[in-house]
Structure 1
Amino acid sequence: MTKQYAVRNIRLCTKDCLCLYVCPTGATDTENSIIDVKKCIGCGICRDACPSGAISMVPVELPPQQGHTEAVTSALRAIMHSKSEQESIAASLPGRLTAAIERSNRIMAEDMIRESGYMLPQSANTRTFLEKLLDTQHGEGFPRAAVEELLSMLQTNEKTEKGG
């Protein structure tokens, strides 16, 4: 069995707190909605006890990034373009509802990128994306130091274009 640890989806967490009572190491913390990865032994008891299904088990080392065919990439680009257009349309309209629609489209687009495997923490795509951010000119206020720090901490399990 591969080494794993528990993570909590704070959107699903109902703060029923059963995880607090069953965790043998005290890794769960509902005050700040995190699970301490250093304390978690990966037993999955908290996941099984969670009535809202907010806890999942994640492998410590993710498998290598799956390759993407041109058909998948072009479909993702089309969806992203559509979400971007919807976000722009909503941004130009007045009202609180349109602001919510604008933000919702941005969040959905980010989720699609991540869930399609382009932004997995250990994927070479993430490293390549961050490197391209550093290679591109940005306006004042761009968090260059934060991107460099992320790159220094990021451990990928694949080769990147720059060989990282």
Structure 2
Amino acid sequence: MHAARNIRLCTKDCVCLFVCPTGATDTETGQIDFEKCLDGCRLCVDACPSHAIYLVNDNYASPQIKGQKTKAMLLKMAENKAEQEKIAAGIAREAKSPEVRQLAKALEVSSRISTEDCLREAGYMLPQGAEVKQLLRALLNSPHEDLPKETIQRLLDLL
């Protein structure tokens, strides 16, 4: 794990400069040099008064393979969330109260994010996923002339 900084939260109190044993922090650029940063040190994280510095994993676990039943449930949940998004959008349009409109808009956005998460977990939004390759092949072989077939082929070649 190495440290990283959210420059929007940084108040430039620069306590991190004084506690970093390697000088990895740079307040001019807002960056932390991963090459200099000691793995798991976290002195700057603990010292930062604005909580702008956090640890980033160097390695992430491989995603688990999901079975057909799990994918089917994720797709069903995505459908439900998409329906909730439509309902929330309707409420936001028709609400007279600004508080209700704001809450409905928040629910709409939350439902959209949940839908995307379900689809991604089901494998439908991963560029390297088999479903995406299948879709690209179908688009490439479609009779529509307005599709950028050279770009689609390039994407397939890259995947």
The alignment status of 1:88 with 2:82, answered yes or no, reads: no
Give the TM-score of the pair, scaled to structure 1. 0.50
Shift of 1:74: 2.6
Q: Tell me, which stretches of 5 or more residues in structure 2 are unaligned?
A: 95-100, 140-145
Paired residues for 1:114-133 under 5 Å: 116=121, 118=123, 125-128=126-129, 131=133
Q: Quick one: distance in 2 between partners of 1:79 and 1:68?
A: 15
SS of 1:106's partner is helix
Q: Aligned pair count?
A: 136
Describe the SS at the equivalent of 2:57.
Answer: strand
Larger radius of gyration: 2
- Structure-2 separation of matches of 1:49 and 1:59: 22
Describe the superposition over 1:46-73 as per-residue Cα deviations: whole angstroms up to 9, x where unpaired.
444457597232224x443321123332
Q: 1:75 is matched with which residue?
A: 73
Distance 1:119 1:6 in 2: 32
TM-score after normalising by structure 2: 0.51
Distance in 1, Cα, partners of 2:124 & 2:45:
24
Partner of 2:143 in structure 1?
none
- Measured against aligned partners, the alpha-carbon deviations of 1:26-56 in whole angstroms (never above 9, x if no partner) come to 267896xxx56xx214534244445759723
Give, in angstroms, the shift of residue 78 of structure 1: 2.5
Q: Which structure features the higher share of helix residues?
A: 2
Q: Which amino acid aligns with 1:102?
A: E
Q: Percent of pairs identical after alignment? A: 25
**1:1-164 equivalent positions in 2, closer than 5 A:** 4-6=1-3, 14-15=9-10, 20-21=16-17, 22-23=19-20, 24-26=23-25, 39-41=33-35, 43-44=39-40, 45=42, 46-49=44-47, 52=51, 55-60=54-59, 62-93=60-91, 94=93, 96-97=101-102, 98-112=104-118, 116=121, 118=123, 125-128=126-129, 131=133, 134-135=136-137, 164=159
Question: Structure 1 residues 78, 119: closer, same or farther in 2, change over 3 A?
Answer: closer
How far is 1:77 from its partner? 1.9
What residue ranges of structure 1 are gaps of 5+ in the alignment? Answer: 153-163
Aligned CA distance change for structure 1 residues 130 and 72 (closer, same or farther; 3 Å): closer
Q: What is the aligned-residue RMSD (CA, Å)?
A: 4.8
State the SS of the aligned residue for 1:56: strand
